Structure 1
Amino acid sequence: MTREVEGSDGKMQTVTEWQYDEKEMTVKEYENMALMKSVVEENTSGIVESVTQFQKDAVIDEYTQQLIEEGLI
């Protein structure tokens, strides 16, 4: 992020700084977060395949319904 600050010479200048979110958590919360991250990383391809198949099925169902409504099947 950028912000305006007064320099040592009294003139305003723009500086760029990092901005981040911070959260305190218990050890148990951290362990749960790390476990979830690990599970997602290990199963990413399966998750993507599942979502892709779900989307394909939904498109096929919608197309089939449209054909039925138009009396083509």
Structure 2
Amino acid sequence: MDKSLKQLQLISILIHWMPNAILIGIAGAFVGGFIGSLLGLGTVTGFNIGSFLLAIGGALLLLVLYRVIKKK
């Protein structure tokens, strides 16, 4: 396969996939902060390691849920 064709296919895949992942990641950060507050893990008080980990956890949770729902 031609190198430029492979590059175009990769760009096409990224353009299709990235907006969903970005939006789910942002929403996941909010979900992570909310769940963390409910569980008493702390609140999001700015950019620190605790807030960062809560945001990552929430984003991962939403991405997993998205993939489960999308498979059905």
- Which range, TM-score by smaller chain? 0.3 to 0.5
| Structure ID, larger Rg | 1
Q: Larger strand proportion, structure 1 or 2?
A: 1
TM normalised by structure 2 equals 0.40
Larger RCO (alpha carbons 8 Å, 6+ apart): 2
